[in-house]
Amino acid sequence: MSRPSSSVASGPPGSTRRPARLRARLLSVLAALGLALGALVGLPGAAQAAGSLPCDLYGDAGTPCVAAHSTVRALFSSYNGPLYRVTRVLDGAATDIGLLAPGGYADAGRQDTFCGGTSCRITRIYDQTSRHNDLNPGPAGTAGMGADRGADASELAVTAGGHKVYGIFTSPGVGYRSTGAASGVAVNGQPEGVYMVASGTHVGSACCFDYGNAESTPADTGNGHMDAVSIATTCYFAPCTGSGPWVEADLENGMFQGDNGSNTANRGNNSTYVTAVLKNNGQTRYALKGGNSQSGGLTTWWDGGLPTRGGYKPMHQEGGIILGTGGDNSNWNMGTFFEGAMVAGYPSDAVENAVQANIVSVGYSGQTNVPNGPQGTITGPGGKCVDVAADDTGVNGAAVQLWDCQSYAEDQHWTHNPDGSLSTISRCLDVVGNSSANDAKLELYDCNGVGGQKWVQQADGSLRNPQSGRCLDAPGGATGNGTRLQIHDCNGSAAQKFALG
C-alpha cells in the first residue's frame, strides 16, 4: 500500500487549491502527529502505530513474512490470534496463550493461572501469517537423537513492552519443526531473509541452535539444503575472532561466519538479547548481521558471495522450518528464542534497520541465561545439586545424581508440584520400579502419580518418600560428581540433608 505524501501540491486541472494558510496549518498538525506517533513507538508498552511491527515493515517493503513466530508479542499490528500452546505435564490438559490486545504482547497471566503449581511444556508455536506454518516438537532424525520435547513453559520470564512474558529456553533435547515443507518458504535457490531475537548469554558450541529454512524431513540431504540463522560459540571454520557467540549461517554441513566459512571480521554478539539476521539471494550472495536487541543498530558481519564449496552456489533449500535444532534434528545445543520471522525475497538494509529499531522499542529486559521460573534447586550433601545425568536430555530412566551446581543447567531446576512430586525437564524424580526397598536407586521418569514419585520435606532437612517411609540418600555420604542417589532408612545423617531452594 502506498503511503500518502505529507506535502500539499496543486491539484489537477479544475481542482480547488487549498489556501496557503490552511496548508500550513495542516502541515503543522501532521508534523505534530508524526512526532507523537514516533514517541509512542519508541516507548516500551505504548500502543504501536499501525504498520509498525516487523512483518508490517517487511510486507510494506515488498518482502512479506511467510512465517512469524513468537511467545512474546504479535509481529503484525493486526494479529489477534494465539501465540503458543502450553500443555500440563501431569494431566495433559492444554490451552493457547494469546495477546493482551491486538498487535500487542502475550497474556502471560493466562499461562500462570493454567500452569500454576505444576509444570507445562510449550507444545506448539503458532505462525502468525495466514500460511499456518506452526511449529511442534520435532521428530527423531538421522542425527541419532530421539524425538524433541517441548520447552518448559515457565522457565524464563522476562519483560517486553512493560509486560511479563516468557521466552523459549532451549536445552539439549528441546526443538521444534514444521511438518514437511512449509507454505511459501524458499526452495531451490529462491531468495529469502530471516531474523530472530535470541540470547547472547545462554549459548553453547554443540549443534545446533538454529531458526530458519531446513530440510523438509529431519535428515542431512547435502550442502546448501539449509538456510538458517544461528547464534552459538561454534567455530566450525577456523580461524575465528574471540570466543563468540557469533551470528552464523547454518547452510548445512557448516556454520558459516561469512565468506567461505571463516571470517575473522565477525567479532560476535554477546549482549543479553541479540538480534540475529541472515539473508540469502539463493544464487550468489548472502549477508549476516547482528545487533543488541536493547539498543543501537545492526552490524554487518558479512555481505558478499555465497561459499564456493560445492553445493552452496546456487542453494538447494527444501522449505522446512526448524527452531532450536539442526536440519537432521541435531539437538545438543542450548539457546533462548523470543521472536523471529522468515520472509520471501531479499530484504533491503533499510527494512532490516527498521525492524531492528522496532525490536529496540520493545524494551526487552531481564536475565536470559538462568532459569527464573517457579523452579528451584535441590541442594544436597557437599553443597552439590540434585542433577540428571546426560546434560539436560532427561530421557526416561536417566540416573539422578549429585553434581556441581550450574546456574544454567535446566535439569538442576525442579518444580515442587501440588501432588508432592518433584519435576524437571518435564519428568519426575522417581524410584526405579516404584520400589520401596532399601537402597533402591533414583531416576527421572514420566510423571504418573505413583508413590515412588512423592516427596515430603522433613523438619530435619531430609526428603522422605511416604510410600517406602525412606529418605533421599547419598550412599555412604559420598559427595563426588556423579554420585547416584537412592532411598535409604531415614537416619538424620548429613547424607540425607536436601534443601529445596
CB 247 within 8 A of CB 301: yes
Give the pLDDT mean for 111-139.
94
Mean pLDDT score of the chain, rounded to an integer?
Answer: 89
Task: Name the CATH topology of 378-500.
Answer: Trefoil (Acidic Fibroblast Growth Factor, subunit A) (2.80.10)
**Is the omega angle on the peptide bond into residue 64 within 30 degrees of 0, that is, cis?**
no
Weakest mean pLDDT among 63-67, 154-158, 275-279? 154-158
pLDDT digits (tens, 9 = 90+) for 210-229: 999 999 999 999 999 999 99
- Pick from 295, 436, 364: nearest CA to 106: 364
- Pick from 224, 222, 156, 159: nearest CA to 190: 224
CB 366 within 8 A of CB 157: yes
> What pLDDT, on a 0 to 100 scale, did the predictor assign at position 467?
96
CB 341 within 8 A of CB 68: yes
Question: pTM for the full model?
Answer: 0.81
> Residue ranges of the domains in the chain?
54-362, 378-500
Our answer to whether residue 430 is catalytic in this structure is no
Q: What is the 3-state secondary structure (H, E, C) of 81-132?
A: CCCEEEEECCCCCEEEECECCCCCEECHHHHHHHHCCCCEEEEEECCCCCCC
CB 61 within 8 A of CB 93: no
CATH of domain 54-362: 2.60.120.200
pLDDT digits (tens, 9 = 90+) for 432-455: 999 999 999 999 998 999 999 999
For the chain, give the longest Cα–Cα distance. 101
Q: Which residue has the higher pLDDT, 374 or 162?
A: 162
54-362 and 378-500: same fold? no
> What pLDDT, on a 0 to 100 scale, did the predictor assign at position 145?
82
Question: Residue 51: pLDDT band by 50, 70, 90 thresholds?
Answer: low
Give the pLDDT mean for 189-213.
97
> What pLDDT, on a 0 to 100 scale, did the predictor assign at position 292?
98
Our answer to whether residue 220 is catalytic in this structure is no
And the C-alpha cell for 399?
A: 540416573
Q: Which of 127, 215, 328, 387 is catalytic?
A: 328
> What pLDDT, on a 0 to 100 scale, did the predictor assign at position 42?
39
> What pLDDT, on a 0 to 100 scale, did the predictor assign at position 103?
97
> What pLDDT, on a 0 to 100 scale, did the predictor assign at position 180?
96
> What pLDDT, on a 0 to 100 scale, did the predictor assign at position 5?
29
Q: Which residue has the higher pLDDT, 18 or 201?
A: 201
> What pLDDT, on a 0 to 100 scale, did the predictor assign at position 30?
33
pLDDT digits (tens, 9 = 90+) for 57-74: 999 999 999 999 999 999
Give the pLDDT mean for 268-292.
98
Q: Which of 152, 220, 248, 252 is catalytic?
A: 252
**Is the omega angle on the peptide bond into residue 208 within 30 degrees of 0, that is, cis?**
yes
Q: What is the 3-state secondary structure (H, E, C) of 203-253?
A: CCCCCCCEEEEECCCCCCCCCCCCEEEEEECCCCCCCCCCCCCEEEEECCC
Distance CA 468, CA 471 (A): 8
Distance CA 373, CA 306 (A): 42
Question: Residue 392: pLDDT band by 50, 70, 90 thresholds?
Answer: low
